[in-house]
C-alpha cells in the first residue's frame, strides 16, 4: 500500500421492522450467499422486532474516496428514489470507512457529491482509521 493509498468501505445500513426481503426488493439487491460483504441481514440487538439490512462494498488500495462513493451509489440504479422508499419503512445511514497504514491521510468531497448526499437526507457516518506509520525515505 503506497503513501496515498487506503482502503475504503462504503455501506448502507437500514433498520426496519419489515422483513429484510422487502428491503432487498425495494433496493433491487439480493443477499450475498456468503453473508459477508455486499448484502447481509441481522436481527436488531436492542429490539427483537427490528431487522438490520446491510449493503456494503470494500474498495482496496484507493486514492480517491469520492470515486468510491460515486461507484457505490451507481451500483444500485435510482439509488436516491430507492432511499426515499426505504425511509417510509425504516431508518438508514450511509457509512464510509477509510483505513490507512500511514498517518498522512486526507480526502475531499466535491460540492456535487455533497449535494447528492445531502439530497438523500440521510445521516452519513465517516470513520477514518490511521495506523500512524511514516514513510521511510
Q: Is 19 left (phi over 0), alpha (psi -120 to 50) or beta?
A: beta
Per-residue pLDDT, averaged over 10-31, amounts to 89
pLDDT band at 93 (very low <50, low <70, confident <90, very high): very high
The larger pLDDT score, comparing residue 6 to residue 91, is at: 91
At residue 69, the pLDDT reads: 95
Per-residue pLDDT, averaged over 120-127, amounts to 94
What is the residue-averaged pLDDT of the chain?
84
> Do residues 96 and 10 lie in contact, with contact meaning Cβ atoms separated by under 8 Å?
yes
The full length of the chain comes to: 137
Per-residue pLDDT, averaged over 110-114, amounts to 94
At residue 91, the pLDDT reads: 94
Q: What is the DSSP string of 102-116?
A: ES-------HHHHHH
With 80 as the cut, is the pLDDT of residue 74 above it?
A: yes
What is residue 60's three-state secondary structure? Answer: strand
At residue 30, the pLDDT reads: 79
pLDDT band at 47 (very low <50, low <70, confident <90, very high): low
With 60 as the cut, is the pLDDT of residue 36 above it?
A: no
Per-residue pLDDT, averaged over 34-50, amounts to 64
State the Cα angle at 123 between 122 and 129, rounded to 5°.
140
pLDDT band at 2 (very low <50, low <70, confident <90, very high): very low
Amino acid at each position: 500500500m503506497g503513501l496515498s493509498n487506503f482502503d475504503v468501505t462504503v455501506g448502507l445500513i437500514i433498520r426496519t421492522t419489515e422483513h429484510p426481503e422487502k428491503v432487498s426488493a425495494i433496493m433491487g439487491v439480493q443477499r450475498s450467499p456468503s453473508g459477508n460483504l455486499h448484502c447481509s441481514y441481522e436481527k436488531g440487538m436492542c429490539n427483537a422486532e427490528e431487522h438490520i439490512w446491510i449493503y456494503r462494498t470494500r474498495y482496496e488500495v484507493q486514492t480517491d474516496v469520492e470515486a468510491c462513493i460515486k461507484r457505490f451509489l451507481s451500483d444500485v440504479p435510482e439509488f436516491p428514489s430507492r432511499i426515499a422508499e426505504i425511509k417510509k419503512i425504516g431508518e438508514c445511514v450511509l457509512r464510509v470507512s477509510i483505513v490507512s497504514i500511514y498517518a498522512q491521510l486526507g480526502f475531499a468531497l466535491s460540492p456535487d457529491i455533497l449535494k447528492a448526499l445531502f439530497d438523500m437526507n440521510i445521516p452519513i457516518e465517516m470513520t477514518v482509521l490511521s495506523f500512524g506509520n511514516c514513510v521511510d525515505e
